[in-house]
Amino acid sequence: MGFLPVNCCDMLKRGWKEPDFVYVCGDAYVDHPSFGAAIICRILENRGYKVCFLAQPDWKNAKSFNVFGKPRFGFLVSSGNIDSMVNNYTVAKKRRSADLYSPGGKTGFRPDRADIVYCNKIRELYKDVPIIIGGIEASLRRLSHYDYWDNKVRRSILMDSGADLLLYGMGEKAIVELAEALESGIPISEITFIRGTVYKTNDISRAYDYITLPDFNSVKNSKSKYAESFMLQYQNTDAVTAKTLVEKYNEGFIVQNPPQSPLTTQEFDDVYSLDYMRDYHPMYKKYGGIPAINEVKFSITSSRGCFGGCNFCALTFHQGRVISARSHNSILEEAKKIISDKDFKGYIHDVGGPTANFRIVSCKKQLKYGVCKNKQCLWPVPCDNIDISHKDYVSLLRKLRKLEGVKKVFIRSGVRYDYIDYDKDDTFLKELCQYHISGQLKTAPEHIAPDVLEKMGKPKKEIYDRFVDRYNKMNKTLNKNQFIVPYLMSSHPGSDLKAAVKLAEYLRDTGHYPEQVQDFYPTPGTLSTTMYYTETDPRNGKKVYVAKNPHEKAMQRALMQYKNPDNYDLVKEALIKANRGDLIGFSPKCIIKPRKIKKENKLI
């Protein structure tokens, strides 16, 4: 066992004349199951395929893609763990100063729109080799989508990349089916039958029982058509109920097959039992390593999927709403591997997933009938059929705490506070406070204004306040001095200056002062991004206020950090524009005080 070949010399040492697949990745090579590239490569290796890893090739030179020669079956291309545009740019569209997935955290190792650039360079070398794209960048751009950075609707990434096939979602099942089909001699153009894939064609006769989306020209030129198309996609993300989707272009059709079914517990366990090196490749040591490994090296993935329904999150499109969970034995075995690591200090950094305390499906009906198309599990109130229980998660955490060599097991991947609040059994809340946090719990109410929360798909403020009260009482009972740190978002669709002022007042009343503020980032594949672009709610067609002017967005951010003297002018301007001059003064309810200004040696 060892790292996969990263150069021709490595490949020849294994006695290979050619690889079956070359995996081209925008991230540095980290062989850890928190990295999608590592999972896909190890699955293929486990099935007997020869896989080489080409990390962060020089995209300006086509020859850098020819390190291993022509692969027998094809190139697998991914931008990495994060969309390359999100990785390269802040929400203000400024270049980021660091890249946690690159050597030494330095930038410049990956191009913008990495999937497109990599595929086109490969095609310069090989006109006939199959190219398959996957990962988050491809998954969320599989059909026409609004692109924040270009501020326009772009085509399916299959069109612009020149790739032959796209794997969306997590991809473990689809990659095996694809490899077996290619090995059996089926041309890539004939592989149109695999769930969880998207292909392009001039002939849609193979598409079965499909829904025709508005064509690309309509979506590009009409925001109402864009919203209509998005909702059809949004309602067809479940493996049980989803139908094939067809989108017409001038050049032909893009066909999205229904998603793969979520992994069973056994399948999930099998994925995490593979022989990962659990570290970055040694070639990066001289650069200071790969920063992204630091948080996940001693973390454990417990589950996948999320039924939380936050509208600004793309999980519905990528992992789906049905929860998959690993067995306790599988997780305990991984924990033992972590404990045996020479760098392990006794602290497991996380045991979770998209939402740490989701380890069971929200209702068992989903397994047979699929998730509800027009109804959420938790929002605006819990569904009558929801199964709210932390018993399995509590049991798992207790087993991990008992392992020899473990000092503490943290939960850092985020918990749904409303799910905890709806659970009338205090056991999880008690053990969370007693064993699994250190001084503070990070939660994500995101906002407090009702109209904004409704657009976000987040619980009402009263539910958050109730949870905070329970949390504080529990810590008092345990004689612990622990706090809550709320994650908050500015400029989400629905948030105007009045809503931002309400949030500032909430921060004043609760004594919170956020050190960092996150502007809403309109990334592909979310309902909130559709609201941002169309300025309507695609669920009902109603108008939505959207802050797009950079100056207004700066005012909303400043209101959340009104104590910062550098923000004074922005806060004052925002308060005046919101007709809240009453918050400028000396009373305890005021946010800022009048500023003293010298004029002709007099104070006014």
- Residue 133 predicted with pLDDT over 60: yes
The torsion of the CA quartet 576, 498, 90, 352, rounded to 10 degrees, works out to: 150
Strand partners, 486: 443
Give the mean model confidence (pLDDT) for residues 399-417: 96
- Residues with Cβ < 8 Å from 477, sequence gap 6 or more? 430
Q: What is the pLDDT of residue 352?
A: 94
In angstroms, rounded to a whole number, what is the distance separating the alpha carbons of residues 316 and 44? 26
pLDDT one-digit tens code per residue, 522-537? 999 999 999 999 999 9
pTM of the model: 0.95
Query: At 353, is the secondary structure helix, strand, or coil?
Result: coil
Strand partners, 518: 489
| Nearest Cα residue to 410 out of 530, 271, 499, 302 | 302
Q: How confident is the model at residue 311 (pLDDT cuts 50, 70, 90)?
A: very high
Q: What is the pLDDT of residue 604?
A: 41
Give the mean model confidence (pLDDT) for residues 563-590: 96
588 preceded by a cis bond (ω within 30 of 0): no
Q: How confident is the model at residue 367 (pLDDT cuts 50, 70, 90)?
A: confident
Query: At 216, is the secondary structure helix, strand, or coil?
Result: helix
What average pLDDT does the structure give for the chain?
A: 95
Report H helices in 355-460: 365-369, 391-401, 417-422, 427-435, 450-456
Q: What is the enclosing helix (H) or strand (E) of 339? A: helix 328-340
Domains of the chain: 8-198 (3.40.50.2300), 441-604 (3.30.750.200)
Block residue for tokens 């069109």: 159
Q: What is the pLDDT of residue 600?
A: 55
Strand partners, 74: 21
Give the mean model confidence (pLDDT) for residues 57-70: 95
User: Would strands 165-167 and 131-133 be described as parallel, antiparallel, or unpaired?
Assistant: parallel
pLDDT one-digit tens code per residue, 316-365? 889 999 999 999 999 999 999 999 999 999 999 999 999 999 999 999 89
Q: How confident is the model at residue 599 (pLDDT cuts 50, 70, 90)?
A: low
CA–centroid distance for 233 within its chain: 18
Contact (CB, 8 A) for 176 and 187? no
Q: What is the pLDDT of residue 517?
A: 85
Token pair for 239: 């493996």
Residue 604, class by beta-carbon neighbours within 10 Å (0-12 exposed, 13-18 middle, 19+ buried)?
Answer: exposed
What does 455-519 look like in DSSP terms, one character per residue? HHTPPPHHHHHHHHHHHHHHHHHTT---EEEEEEEES-TT--HHHHHHHHHHHHHHT---SS-EE
Q: How confident is the model at residue 241 (pLDDT cuts 50, 70, 90)?
A: very high
- Residue 598 predicted with pLDDT over 70: no
Q: How confident is the model at residue 221 (pLDDT cuts 50, 70, 90)?
A: very high
Q: What is the pLDDT of residue 308?
A: 93
Give the mean model confidence (pLDDT) for residues 188-211: 95
- Residue 1 predicted with pLDDT over 80: no
Q: What is the pLDDT of residue 414?
A: 87
Q: What is the pLDDT of residue 515?
A: 79
Give the mean model confidence (pLDDT) for residues 151-172: 97
Residue 257, class by beta-carbon neighbours within 10 Å (0-12 exposed, 13-18 middle, 19+ buried)?
Answer: buried
| Nearest Cα residue to 300 out of 267, 340, 331 | 331
Q: How confident is the model at residue 402 (pLDDT cuts 50, 70, 90)?
A: very high
Contact (CB, 8 A) for 143 and 132? no
Give the mean model confidence (pLDDT) for residues 93-103: 97
